[in-house]
């Protein structure tokens, strides 16, 4: 399985970045972080459009796209693991997780997504979302391999 995390903005030194790389080192899957930076003075809808276009350029042909979006579906870790396993069993090997900027994802990106995934109704800092995402990917791998990291309630 190859996983790409495409995210608007650049990680800076700090606890979120450190924890992100801690989980990344634990994973057995190939994970590439693609950081998107939009330069210039665009704001609001124009900036969202530019970020979304940049995110779309990162998506390889045939990849499954999972966009993190507050209007998406909140899934349990077990359900997310089953969803990824089902796609993998259908022959899919590349998964792209998209994290938008402060203005969110553009409508074209949202429509392109195979899954709109939410981490709940609250708003999370974008750098923390990366860390939460890589932990969930690690958890999915643990669930699929039967590793005791994930425990059911």
| 126, pLDDT greater than 90 | no
Contact 55, 104 (CB under 8 A): no
Annotation: CATH topology of 2-36+44-112 = Alpha/beta knot (3.40.1280)
- pTM over 0.85? The answer is yes
Q: Would you kindly state where each structural domain of the chain is located, as residue ranges? A: 2-36+44-112
Contact 32, 142 (CB under 8 A): no
C-alpha distances in angstroms, 5 versus 30, 41, 62, 95, 125? 11, 25, 16, 9, 16
Mean predicted confidence (pLDDT) in 122-137: 93
- Of 141, 144, 142, nearest in space to 31 by CA: 141
73-105 tens-digit pLDDT = 999 999 999 999 999 999 999 999 999 998 899
| 42, pLDDT greater than 90 | no
């Amino acid at each position: 399985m190859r996983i790409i995390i495409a995210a608007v903005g650049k990680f800076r030194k700090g606890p979120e970045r450190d924890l992100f790389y801690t989980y990344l080192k634990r994973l057995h899957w190939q994970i590439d972080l693609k950081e998107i930076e939009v330069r210039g003075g665009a704001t609001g809808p124009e900036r969202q459009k530019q970020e979304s276009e940049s995110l779309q350029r990162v998506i390889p042909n045939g990849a499954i796209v999972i966009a993190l979006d507050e209007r998406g579906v909140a899934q349990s870790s077990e359900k997310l693991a089953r969803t990824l396993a089902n796609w993998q069993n259908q022959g899919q090997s590349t998964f792209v997780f998209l994290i938008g900027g402060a203005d969110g994802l553009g409508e074209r990106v949202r429509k392109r997504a195979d899954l709109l995934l939410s981490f709940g109704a609250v708003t999370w800092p974008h750098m923390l979302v990366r860390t939460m995402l890589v932990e969930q990917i690690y958890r999915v791998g643990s669930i699929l391999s039967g590793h005791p990291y994930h425990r059911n309630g």
